[in-house]
């Protein structure tokens, strides 16, 4: 038996099931198996040329040194402008905005900098795999609220009220949602805000990283735009990874109350320090392009969404949730399906297609398909999924 070097906190955290599924598909492919992988949540579009040019220029201009812990002033100014023009939110670049090494780092920073052992974080399932793990690593307890298809995958006021205790410190929201693709309406957010009005100790982390990837003209509203009272207690998390095809540049950012921003910066000052100067110059160039490019790319994702949803909807064993945003299709395996109860990722792998099982998102009995891949790969994936479920 080996002694694990992991701390008590880390040993409570499961390894990422989505990374494991993606790696397994890669290994099988490398061993010569014919596998279509629809696991990865990463845009298949390149970083725009003008962004790469800005990074190159920054490096040539000597922007190669340590940066301020909360981000360069030029990027924070670009972020403040983005929030103001796209979301009608006013934040001071000096005190209410922070830049980090990806949205993931912002979320880690926010929870770690503010939570104490025994505090509770309300997370809505299906959820992005990292939220419960980050809460656990912060010493807190994740409290899961199950969103339901009949409520548009957004928690109701009653569900939220039931989950709140005196130990609740954060509520995490994520719309457009990974994995369900659901978006929240102003009315749904207002219902949540009404509950929060009765519990002033709770902060809201709204992860809006898929803001620009949305379909059929769906309207996006930031949670902080619901009311001034909500803005004062919300951390709005965003980044350039998904919108501008910049996952490898590692830039995420947030706008929020100065006390929370200060706490995140303090943590960063002893961990990552200010993130890469060159990446920050690139991110500022991306934000200067505005939302036109990601919205244009959404039309391609929309075509792929239609392809996948239309093909899989013909299968009586499956219920396909038609996403309004993000680049995933989330599928339920109906109880009547011949394969119900078996590990879906295993079954589908036997048929040559790798997906992420719903367990990873807190919703067993479902699976996620990433549509951030070519039409031909998606066609092949659908054919294999239909074969698996139709026999």
Give me the residues that bind ligand PLP (CB under 6 A), please: 41, 102-104, 128, 174, 178, 207, 209, 239, 241, 247, 252
Measured from the CB atom, the residue of 286 and 388 that comes closer to ligand PLP is 286
Give the number of other CB atoms < 10 A from CB of residue 143.
17
Name the minimum Å distance from CB 61 to ligand PLP.
25
Name the minimum Å distance from CB 126 to ligand PLP.
11
Query: How many degrees, rounded to 5, is the angle at CA 125 between CA 122 and CA 126?
Result: 145
CA-based torsion, 304, 307, 313, 317: positive or negative: negative
| Cα 302 to Cα 305: distance, rounded to the nearest angstrom | 5
Q: How many residues does the chain have?
A: 391
With contact defined as beta carbons under 8 Å apart, do 300 and 307 qualify?
Answer: no
Measured from the CB atom, the residue of 67 and 317 that comes closer to ligand PLP is 67
Measured from the CB atom, the residue of 294 and 352 that comes closer to ligand PLP is 294
Among residues 353, 308, 301, which one has the least CA distance to residue 327?
Answer: 301
Nearest residue to the partner ligand PLP, using Cβ: 102
Measured from the CB atom, the residue of 128 and 389 that comes closer to ligand PLP is 128
The two counts, helices (H) then strands (E), for the chain are: 14, 13
End-to-end CA distance of the chain: 43
Measured from the CB atom, the residue of 93 and 126 that comes closer to ligand PLP is 126
With contact defined as beta carbons under 8 Å apart, do 220 and 214 qualify?
Answer: yes
| Phi then psi dihedrals of residue 293, to 5 deg | -65, -55
The tokens 């920054």 sit on which residue? 58
What's the alpha-carbon Rg for the chain, to the nearest Å?
21
Measured from the CB atom, the residue of 103 and 204 that comes closer to ligand PLP is 103
Name the minimum Å distance from CB 335 to ligand PLP.
29
| Cα 297 to Cα 226: distance, rounded to the nearest angstrom | 27
Name the minimum Å distance from CB 103 to ligand PLP.
3
Measured from the CB atom, the residue of 67 and 370 that comes closer to ligand PLP is 370
E strand or H helix at 37, and its extent?
strand 36-37
Q: Write out the DSSP string of 314-358.
A: T-TTEEEE--SBSSEEEEEE-TTSTTTTS-HHHHHHHTTEE-EEG
E strand or H helix at 298, and its extent?
helix 292-313
Measured from the CB atom, the residue of 154 and 315 that comes closer to ligand PLP is 154
Measured from the CB atom, the residue of 211 and 384 that comes closer to ligand PLP is 211
DSSP SS3 for 359: helix
């Amino acid at each position: 038996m080996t002694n694990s070097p992991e701390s008590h906190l880390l040993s409570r955290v499961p390894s990422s099931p989505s990374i494991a599924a993606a790696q397994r598909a890669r290994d099988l492919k490398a061993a010569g198996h014919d596998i279509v992988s629809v696991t990865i949540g990463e845009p298949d579009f390149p970083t725009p040329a003008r962004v790469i040019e800005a990074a190159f220029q920054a490096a040539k201009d000597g922007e190669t040194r340590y940066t301020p812990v909360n981000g360069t002033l030029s990027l924070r100014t670009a972020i403040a402008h983005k929030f103001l023009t796209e979301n009608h939110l006013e934040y001071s670049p000096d005190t209410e905005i922070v830049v980090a090494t990806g949205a993931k780092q912002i979320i880690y920073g926010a929870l770690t900098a503010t939570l104490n052992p025994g505090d509770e974080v309300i997370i809505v399932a299906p959820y992005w795999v990292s939220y419960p793990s980050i809460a656990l690593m912060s010493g807190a307890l994740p409290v899961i609220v199950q969103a339901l298809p009949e409520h548009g995958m957004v928690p109701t006021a009653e569900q939220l009220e039931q989950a709140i205790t005196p130990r609740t410190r954060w509520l995490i929201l994520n719309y457009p949602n990974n994995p369900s693709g659901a978006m929240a309406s102003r009315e749904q957010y207002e219902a949540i805000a009404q509950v929060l009005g009765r519990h002033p100790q709770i902060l809201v982390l709204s992860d809006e990283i898929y803001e620009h990837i949305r379909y059929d003209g769906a309207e996006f509203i930031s949670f902080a735009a619901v009311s001034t009272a909500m803005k004062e207690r919300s951390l709005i998390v965003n980044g350039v990874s998904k919108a501008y095809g910049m996952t490898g540049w590692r830039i995420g950012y947030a706008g929020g109350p100065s006390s929370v921003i200060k706490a995140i910066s303090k943590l960063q000052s002893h961990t990552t320090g200010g993130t890469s100067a060159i990446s920050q110059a690139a991110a500022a160039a991306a934000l200067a392009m505005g939302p036109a490019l990601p919205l244009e790319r959404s039309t391609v994702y929309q075509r792929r969404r239609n392809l996948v949803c239309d093909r899989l909807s013909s299968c009586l064993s499956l219920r396909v949730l038609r996403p309004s945003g993000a680049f995933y299709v989330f599928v339920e395996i109906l109880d009547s399906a011949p394969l119900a109860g078996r590990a879906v990722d295993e079954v589908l792998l036997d048929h040559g297609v790798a997906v992420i099982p719903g367990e990873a998102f807190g919703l067993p009995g479902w699976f996620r398909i990433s549509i951030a891949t070519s039409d031909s790969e998606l066609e092949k994936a659908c054919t294999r999924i239909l074969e698996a479920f139709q026999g």
